[in-house]
Every structure is written in C-alpha cells, then in structure tokens.
Structure 1
Amino acid sequence: MKMLTRRIVLLIGLVLLIDANVAMAAPDPAFDAATAAVTVTVDEIIEWHAANFATIAIANITNRGDTPSASQSLVLYTNCDLDITATNTTAAQLIERVTSNDTLVTEYKLEYDGDGDPDTGGATVDWAEYDDFLVVPSAVTHVTLDGAVNVTLSARASNATGTLADAGNYTATQTLTATF
C-alpha cells in the first residue's frame, strides 16, 4: 500500500509539473500585442482663405494729378513653393463701362507678410501697369511650419499724362492665380 501511495503521489506531482510547464509556455492572450503601420500622404496644397479679395475701393480722383491707391489682403495657405501670376488683359484695366469706355492708368502692386526666410512669402512686386503686372511670376517660398502667407494686392489709378478721364465709375477685375 505504501508503494501505491508513493506512486499516486509521484503521479500527481508529475501531472502538476507538466501542467505548470504547459501553463507557463502558453502566451496569455490578455497581454498579446500586434502592431499596425499607418501611412498618409499629404499632397501639395495651395488654397486661398476666400474665393475673392474684398473690393479694393480707391478714393475718388478729384484733381487731374491725383494718383489714389488702396489695397486688400487675403491669406493664401500653402505647404509648397509656388508662383503667383496675374490677369494682364483689359479686364484688369480701370474702364468706365457705362457710357464712354474711357480708361485710367491702372497699376498694381503685390506684397507679402513674409519674405521666404524665415517666414513663408516672397519679394514685393512694385507698381506696374495692369498689362505688365506679374508678367514674370512672383515666387513664394514655403517655410516649414508656416503654412500661410498674407497676400496684399494694391491698386492705383491716375489720368494718362496730359489727359483727363471722363467722369464716371471705373471698374476692373484683377485675378491672381497661385500655381506650384
């Protein structure tokens, strides 16, 4: 009987030992981990804050030699270097379109709140007549972590040398296009 008891105790011990080894070797599913790689591509983006600049309302010309000007700004969001061009057609020229089709000397200027180092922006484009404005595109340099540039468009009106324009309301539409 002693021998039988010893065999039973030995068998129980062996079963417990095997069970413990199996339990230790098996992974605990509550602590199992898996990884996932996540990727995304950000395309080059150029986006104006609004569809249009606010109206650039130039003060009245009250004397033959007046050259009034006015400006408006619009934010351009970008994550890349880009060029800005302008419309150089008569659409950008100030014309009295109701009765006479008379024209004014129409000039534009472009400025940025940054110069490309250390802020996104570019060099000021000085006054040029509508048909010469941005014939060479204005380069805007993007600076990492500065994804916006304030673009200021100025317009100036005057009478042509030796002339006086007809009385009336003169209008023009200048279009700036940003491309990368």
Structure 2
Amino acid sequence: MARTDTSTPVLRIADLNERRPTRFELTFDAAQIRQFAEELDLISLKKLRLKGELTVKGRDQWELTADLGATVQQNCVISFVPVTTRIDEKITRRYVPEAIFEQVAEDEEIAEASGDDALDILPAEIDLVDVFRETLVLALPDYPRAEGVELGERVFSEEGVKPMRDTDAKPFAGLATLKEKMEKGD
C-alpha cells in the first residue's frame, strides 16, 4: 500500500520510497485560504483540493500527477459584480536532474516539439503548496466577466469634432462596401 502523507505539504525527495508512489491529499486551513484569497485579489476561495501522487520515472526522475480543485469568486472586469468560477485542473510535472534539464533547454527545438513545458529541475524538496499556488494562478480567468455584461461603446471627443467610433478604428471594415461600389462601377 502506498504512503499517504497529509501531515506535511513539503515532500523531501531523499525520504521518499522509490519503489512505490507517494500519494498525497493536501488540505488547507482557514488562515491559508484567506492568505491565498488576499494574494490573488479574490473575493472568496472555497473547496480547495490538491490530490495526487509522486512516482519515480527512470533514474533520478520523478513525476508529480495531481488534480487541483477550487471555487473562486472574482470581480467582473466590467461591472464589478462577483463572478464565481469552478477550477478543476490536472497537473503533471516531471522533475529531472539539472544536467538533463539544461540539455533539454539548450535544444529548444526538441523541447518545443515534445510540448513538454512541465519539465522542472529536481529539487531537494517539493512544496505542494507552491505547486497548488502556481497552478491556481495560471488557471484563474484573466478577465472574469459576469453573464450578459458587455463592454459597450464609449465615444469621446472635443466639442465640435466628430467623435471616432469603434467602426472607424477598423480599417478593413469598409472593404466590403468599397468592393460593392467597384463591382457596380464595372
């Protein structure tokens, strides 16, 4: 049976069993949740979960696979109305020795072709809270928008000057009309 370590969010690589996966399920207390919400400028943060395992993959290589879950509430970027979003992310990270990491980094074409952006240098310890935080930050909506809210068009100009509208800023918008005029002229 694999070990489940919920007592500490930091996994020290030297202490892990290389023959079996190390399973974990991270839980957060109210103070940690408040701290995350403040750091990320969230109205609220609920149902935080990080559950997964760390396994050996070859010599000196480890793979972390986990499921992250969180319900976040942010302000709408337009109306400032609270917007609730459920985030469920699958995490895969491969940890390799620095020499292998540098070799892959030097050959950018191989790294791009493999699509392996989950490659990290093998640390002495893996902080699961940091893994959670980084994944959550990347998964948050950049511009949360409340349902049915539109930006609309704002028109500003000096008195006596025809205001520039959104359609005026799109130089190719009039090409269809110009094409029709040219075809009628033939």
TM-score, length-scaled by structure 1: 0.27
Question: Does 1 or 2 have the higher relative contact order (CA < 8 Å, sep 6+)?
Answer: 1
Structure having the higher Rg: 1
TM-score, length-scaled by structure 2: 0.27
Kindly indicate which of the two structures has a greater share of residues assigned to helix: 2
